Amino acid sequence: MKLRIQARAKVNWTLDVVGVLPNGYHDLDMLMQSVTLCDQITIEDADDLTLTIRGQGGSFVPADDTNLVLRAANALREQTGCRKGARMMLRKYIPVAAGMGGGSSDAAAALKGLNVLWGLGLGDDELERIGLTIGADVPFCIRGGLQRAQGVGERLTPVPLKRPLYLVAFQPCRGLSTKEVFTALHEDGIRDEDRPDNEAAQRALAAGDVRLLGRSLGNVLEPVSRRMRPDIDKAIRDIEASGAVGARMTGSGSAVFGVYLHAGACRKAAQELAKTYPTCRMMRTAECGVLIEEV
């Protein structure tokens, strides 16, 4: 059997830090959205477990067993006792250390794909539980679509999305480490005016009200990241100037995105922004995080 899998990126319409959990992790409240930008993974039967990496972002990710694809595969073998192998190939297009969930999505794709290839018959709940041992965003990437994500990101509630929305996204500078950003947030603290309005954003998404959505977006990690990387600040202003109804940093950065009233406005802005930011891509919201087809 050979499977071709799309591992989709995500953006954070919102990201709020609402407290500290008993285990010391941040208690988050976010609206997370799968988008059509994706890495591609093929997996096929083999005696050993191997991974090769290609694609424009391939040189930025480790090729050894610290790669999240191999970590996911090994976790699945440990949890199920399965000893089968797989030949895996990852084509990397999602920017790395960008807050677009690239590694998490690859891990989610490996879990879902190998579950099929190895005939394990696990449900998404079980895969999410295993995924959480790899990374906090992996459960979201397994569920995908539009979810309210709380706790470290593992408490997921589906949110309706009235219609597809059109975005641009790109990484205007080198990646930011999540740890570095949270350390800076501790020093600076959170101002109330930087908090997103999660309820209003959720209402806007359900109603397809893109203008209200634009006004409700927010990410409490953005002010520190804009200060640490002035390129992020400039990129967000450039997206706003391109006609976006809202522009934000996603996750802990360093990628930024903008959302537009309709596909035409988005396409025009993407062409214009690509002159300054060659990695700028147009994308649309997606209904799932992992798409598997047999080839």
Judged by CB under 6 A, the residue of 3, 31, 49, 68 near ligand ATP is 68
137 makes contact with ligand ATP (CB under 6 A): yes
List the Cα angle 292/249/192 in 5-degree steps: 125
Q: Which of 10, 84, 92, 112 is catalytic?
A: 10
Taking the C-alpha atoms of residue 271 and residue 256, their distance in angstroms, rounded to an integer, is 16
The question of whether 65 is a catalytic residue gets the answer no
Tell me the window of 30-38, 100-108, 157-165, 208-216 that interacts with ligand ATP (CB under 6 A). 100-108
Taking the C-alpha atoms of residue 144 and residue 146, their distance in angstroms, rounded to an integer, is 6
Radius of gyration of the chain measured on its C-alpha atoms: 18
61 makes contact with ligand ATP (CB under 6 A): yes
What does the DSSP 8-state code read for residue 120?
Answer: -
Comparing CA positions, the residue from 32, 59, 261, 208 lying closest to residue 137 is 32
Taking the C-alpha atoms of residue 195 and residue 192, their distance in angstroms, rounded to an integer, is 5
67 makes contact with ligand ATP (CB under 6 A): yes
Judged by CB under 6 A, the residue of 178, 212, 267, 272 near ligand ATP is 178
| The two three-digit tokens of residue 288, written as one number | 């799932």
Judged by CB under 6 A, the residue of 25, 46, 56, 62 near ligand ATP is 62
Taking the C-alpha atoms of residue 54 and residue 72, their distance in angstroms, rounded to an integer, is 19
Positive or negative: CA dihedral 147, 221, 204, 262 = negative
Q: List the end-to-end C-alpha distance of the chain, in Å, as a whole number.
A: 8
Tell me the window of 61-69, 123-131, 265-273, 283-291 that interacts with ligand ATP (CB under 6 A). 61-69
Contact string (CB under 6 A) for ligand ATP, positions 227-246, x = contact: --------------------
Residue 172 contacts residue 231 (beta carbons within 8 Å)? yes
145 makes contact with ligand ATP (CB under 6 A): no
The smaller minimum CB distance to ligand ATP, of residues 106 and 222, is found at 106
Tell me the window of 96-104, 113-121, 156-164, 184-192 that interacts with ligand ATP (CB under 6 A). 96-104
Q: Which of 16, 39, 106, 137 is catalytic?
A: 137
The question of whether 92 is a catalytic residue gets the answer no
Q: Which residues are designated catalytic?
A: 10, 137
What residue ranges bind ligand ATP (CB under 6 A)?
61-62, 67-69, 96-104, 106, 137, 178, 251-252
